[in-house]
Amino acid sequence: MLDRARVVAIPLRARFRGVTEREAVIFDAPGGASEFSPFTEYGDAEAAHWLAAAIEFGWGGADGELPPIRRDRIPVNATVPAVPAEDVAGILARFPGCRTAKVKVAERGQSLADDLARVRAVRATLGDEGRIRVDANGGWSVAEAETALAALSGFDLDYAEQPCASIPELAELRSRLRAAGRQRGRPIRIAADESVRKAEDPVAVARAGAADLLVVKAQPLGGIARTLGLVAEAGLPVVVSSALETSVGIAMGLHLAAALPDDALDGACGLGTAALLTGDVTPEPLLPRHGALEVRRPRPDPELLDRRAASPERERWWLDRIARCHAILSQADPQPGG
């Protein structure tokens, strides 16, 4: 694996979840290019899930085959970082044809007024028929989330993604929102992300009745087959999202979305995030066209891999990380819930 690995570093167009440059390992694997790109702050035990996914996608699953796909195009949403309201229209222009937008809120150092201005600008750009989701990345307490979502409810939100950090907080907030919804109309739905991909038991949030739908990501959950099993066990609708990957990693998420049963997907998926990067590792990146992505596996270009190559120090850091994560995989089943 190490002989087949190339480490790249690609700047983002705007700061996203505190990141300004995305690092990733691209494998020239027998089954096609694969990616390993856990965020740098994650420990080895968590990052091992991502390596298991990269191995499955590049070297094949337990039986050497990936789960079959059911569709060849996946509708995707636009993703709006925590940018000033005046930058929203420019961000949305990078997602041609997308009629759903996920908007980052609860950014450190920003206020609810900033969130309201950003979401208002998205609504103005999308029009009344567009769908808006907000993603707080667990940044609110229950009281803060209740206040913020009441203020944002006038924009007819599709759902709020991970408004609070813990499962008990999500359950409490969902109960409060449902009570408020009985008085004022349809309650805002709760989507769980970190409570799925960073949990020892990814299905616990569903069993606790703490979410209306799940946001699932192929790399953090240990691969396509593993995620399909978790979705079936949870019994909730899902949205497949990216982990801010290159087009190689996006292709893994696309395969997952294309393999899900028809009744499992809940609207547009969050797989259009290659548009947030200033470049890619392939001359044919997976970028939205007419609001969707074609399910395909792009081939990295050697010249682009050279151009995006990380420094020797960062390359060594990533190769050492792969070796440590591979050792974890060889010793025990590191899959979530395993």
Task: Give, in degrees to the nearest 5, the angle at Cα 233 between 218 and 67.
Answer: 45
CA distance 193 to 283: 31
The whole domain housing 307 covers: 2-65+302-331
223 and 88 assigned to the same domain: yes
Could you read off the pLDDT of 195-220 as tens digits, one per residue?
999 988 999 999 999 999 999 999 99
Annotated binding residues, written as ranges, equal 135, 161, 193
Identify which of 201, 264, 266 has the alpha carbon closest to the alpha carbon of residue 231: 264
165 and 219 assigned to the same domain: yes
Residue type, 252: M
Q: Which sign, positive or negative, has the C-alpha torsion 177, 181, 182, 183?
A: positive
Q: Which of helix, strand or coil describes residue 129?
A: coil
Q: Which residues pair with 131 in a beta bridge?
A: 100
98 and 151 assigned to the same domain: yes
Q: Which residues pair with 78 in a beta bridge?
A: 101
**CATH number, domain containing residue 11:** 3.30.390.10
Give the β-pairing of 73-75 and 100-104.
unpaired
8 and 118 assigned to the same domain: no
Q: How many helices (H) and strands (E) in the chain?
A: 11, 12
The catalytic residue positions are 104, 217
Residue 336 domain flag? no
* Mean pLDDT within 321-335: 85
Could you read off the pLDDT of 257-307 as tens digits, one per residue?
999 998 999 999 999 999 999 999 999 999 999 999 999 999 999 999 999
> Is residue 320 within a helix (H) or strand (E), and if so which, with residue range?
helix 312-331
- Do 215 and 192 form a contact (C-beta atoms < 8 A)? yes
Structure token pair of residue 95: 């997602």
17 and 117 assigned to the same domain: no
Could you read off the pLDDT of 130-183 as tens digits, one per residue?
999 999 999 999 999 999 999 999 999 999 999 999 999 999 999 999 887 655
Number of domains in the chain: 2
DSSP state, residue 194: H
Annotated binding residues for Mg(2+), written as ranges, equal 135, 161, 193
